Amino acid sequence: MTTEELIKAMEDIKLQVSELKEAKEKLAKLEISYDKSKMTMAENIREVKALENKVKALEKDLSLAKPLGEIRGILWANISESISNIWRSIQIIYEQIDLIAVAQVEIQRARNLLGHKPEQTNRLVHFLNNKTKEELEALDIRDMIGTIITIKRVLTMRTLMKNLERKSQDMQVEVDSFMKKYTVLQERGLPSLVGNNECLLRQDEYQIRLNKYAADQQNASSSSTPAEKTLPSGQSLYNDLENMFYIEHEVQHLFIAQPNFYKYTDANETLIKLQRHQLPEKQWGQSMLEIL
């Protein structure tokens, strides 16, 4: 290899080294630029996520979900406490309902037994009261007072029946007043007081039912989808809570005056007397009517 060729080869090598160095520098710049781009993208993603979380937090705060949930919890607790306070009165109402049902059966039984007997009895008593001792003896009636007392068992039964009917009506007024108010509350969302057998639940059973209903309401409210959530307005807040405030208020005023067992025991006493009362024997009564 000549000197000229060697010089030319050296110059070619220098040129290739220079080109390699330039290529490496360009590659290094590209790598730095790419790394910066990746860092910028990651930062942008983190920033976007942070902003999204902040927006969600702000939306949640603006929707008043937490304070509304706390208010609902307080209202349900107040409603539960109010019902516990009046549970004894509710029991009295349902005992009256049961007694009214029994009384109606007994009233109908007495009415069937009496038939036209009260009118006949009045005529017979009037007849006997207008007879002398001798005239009664002629009719084989030796004891006028005892005979009239026996005959008047019919009138006593009628009196007991009418008294029981009146007392049942008094209880029914109290029952109807309560039922009318509670039906409205039940339509507003308060759970039913009775079980599948249509009998009043025990207090602990109703408490479980009420707690479950309140929890279901809370869960339904908190699990609404984002699409369903909008910033609350005064009207929406009112609509959301008005029903519960209404229930809370009306439960506290279910009874203008707390009922007691007076009406129940008074009617029950009359019922027992009516059940035990015996009419004169049919044959004897018929023989009395024959003297008319």
**Dihedrals φ, ψ of 200, to 5°?**
-60, 135
d(C-alpha 90, C-alpha 51), whole Å = 55
Per-residue pLDDT at 228 exceeds 50: no
Domain ranges of the chain: 1-62, 66-290
DSSP code for 199: S
pLDDT (average), residues 193-208? 94
Does 284 score more than 80 pLDDT? Answer: no
Predicted TM-score (pTM) of the model is 0.69
Q: What dihedral do alpha carbons 225, 230, 231, 233 form, nearest 10°?
A: -120
pLDDT tens per residue, range 142-172: 888 888 888 899 999 999 999 999 999 999 9
Contact 82, 154 (CB under 8 A): no
For residue 148, which of 170, 125, 116 has the smallest C-alpha distance? 125
